[in-house]
């Protein structure tokens, strides 16, 4: 059952990641009337939705008892301030990472973003070794080397061969996007492993942990809204530029946090990262055929194939014959 849950949660994560990246890219480049929605506001909305969803899940776990819900929240959050404060670090980093996601996808096409963002597999692996004491096998280290080579090829500069109707990104905006992705990769690796360490050291519900994460994320996110977009908020409000597509992006981002938490619970962070890389194929196809903002080159395809090959190489390492202890 646990094995089935692991692969179901990984499959859902691939679909969620692909749809989030594509809808976010589309929403940030779509030309429309009025002001564009504020990325910082969308991050806060996603945190609020995540908290409400987790409260409902805890409520469900305790047979819809208001008294039981109140007791859990008091015992696990209010009466354990030091345990709750531990989550301020990953929460702040996740908030930064979520804002960087919008910056990156405003400056990079979905396919390039997806492949480059897989560098978080390397950072996660390194943090897992240093913080959790994990041991990686030969195939895993080799897969990380192949992964880096693939990402380097994807970022290899190529001359645009597009016609006059194409609108390639400027070198400046491309650099901003790449820097945003690189910072997000390091923050994702550290925060993910730190959160995994906390989850596996305690028996606390993953939903309660996400409520704690969300509360800090809400505070950090609101600070970001008023520091970076305070003037625009005063002019047009927090929800300026929101439409059905914006709310879809918010819902997908909120869902992503919960799916990742489930994946960490049933699998591990490195496997989570490699499963996410499978969404590269979907992102590339849809970015080319639907968004039409991506002109693939042979170098990109070579790099993407290397990243996907690294995915399966890590998976091969994990498939060892298990001893069945259930039969005695």
Confirm if 22 and 291 have CB atoms less than 8 A apart. Answer: yes
Instruction: Tell me how far apart the alpha carbons of residues 256 and 20 are, in angstroms, rounded to a whole number.
Output: 8
Give residue-wise pLDDT tens across range 185-244.
Answer: 999 899 989 988 887 777 778 788 889 999 999 999 999 999 999 999 999 999 999 999
User: Per residue in 235-263, pLDDT tens?
Assistant: 999 999 999 999 999 999 888 767 766 66
> Using one digit for the tens of pLDDT, what is the confidence trace for 138-173?
888 898 899 889 888 887 766 544 444 344 555 568
Return the structure tokens found at 249.
């992006």
Percent of residues, the chain, with pLDDT higher than 70: 83
- Coil, strand, or helix at residue 264? helix
| The two three-digit tokens of residue 74, written as one number | 């008091």
Mean pLDDT computed over every residue of the chain: 82
Name every residue whose Cβ is closer than 8 Å to that of residue 298 and which is 6 or more positions away in sequence: none
- Average pLDDT on 308-319 reads 65
The number of C-alpha atoms within 13 Å of 214 and in the hemisphere containing its C-beta is 24
Q: What's the CA gap between 248 and 263, in Å, rounded?
A: 22
Residue 197 CB contacts under 8 Å (≥ 6 apart), including other chains: 131, 132
> Other CB atoms closer than 10 Å to residue 270's CB: what's the count?
26
Question: What is the value of pTM for the model shown?
Answer: 0.80
């Amino acid at each position: 059952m646990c094995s089935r849950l692991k692969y179901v949660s990984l499959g859902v994560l691939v679909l969620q990641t692909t749809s989030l990246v594509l809808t976010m890219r589309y929403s940030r480049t779509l030309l429309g009337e009025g002001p564009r929605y504020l990325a910082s506001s969308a991050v806060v909305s996603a945190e609020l939705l995540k908290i409400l969803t987790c409260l409902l899940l805890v409520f469900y776990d305790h047979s819809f008892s208001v008294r039981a819900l109140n007791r859990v929240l008091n015992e696990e959050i209010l009466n354990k301030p030091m345990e709750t404060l531990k989550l301020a670090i990953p929460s702040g980093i996740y908030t930064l990472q979520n804002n960087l996601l919008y910056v990156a996808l405003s400056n990079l096409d979905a396919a390039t973003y997806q492949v480059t963002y897989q560098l978080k597999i390397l950072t996660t692996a390194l943090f897992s070794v240093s913080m959790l004491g994990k041991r990686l096998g030969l195939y895993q280290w080799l897969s990380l080397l192949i992964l880096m080579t693939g990402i380097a090829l994807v970022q290899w500069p190529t001359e645009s061969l597009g016609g006059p109707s194409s609108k390639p990104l400027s070198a400046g905006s491309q650099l901003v996007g790449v820097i945003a992705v690189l910072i997000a990769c390091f923050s994702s690796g550290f925060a993910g492993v730190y959160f995994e360490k906390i989850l596996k050291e305690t028996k606390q519900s993953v939903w309660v942990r996400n409520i704690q994460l969300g509360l800090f994320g809400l505070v950090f996110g609101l600070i970001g809204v008023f520091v970076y977009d305070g003037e625009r908020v005063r002019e047009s409000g927090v929800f300026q530029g929101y439409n059905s597509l914006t709310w879809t992006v918010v819902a997908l981002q909120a869902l992503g946090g919960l799916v990742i938490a489930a994946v960490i619970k049933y699998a591990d962070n490195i496997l989570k990262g490699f499963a996410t890389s499978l969404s590269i194929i979907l992102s590339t196809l849809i970015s080319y055929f639907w968004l039409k903002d991506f002109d693939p080159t042979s170098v990109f395809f070579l790099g993407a194939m290397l990243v996907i090959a690294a995915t399966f190489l890590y998976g091969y390492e994990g498939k060892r014959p298990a001893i069945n202890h259930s039969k005695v």
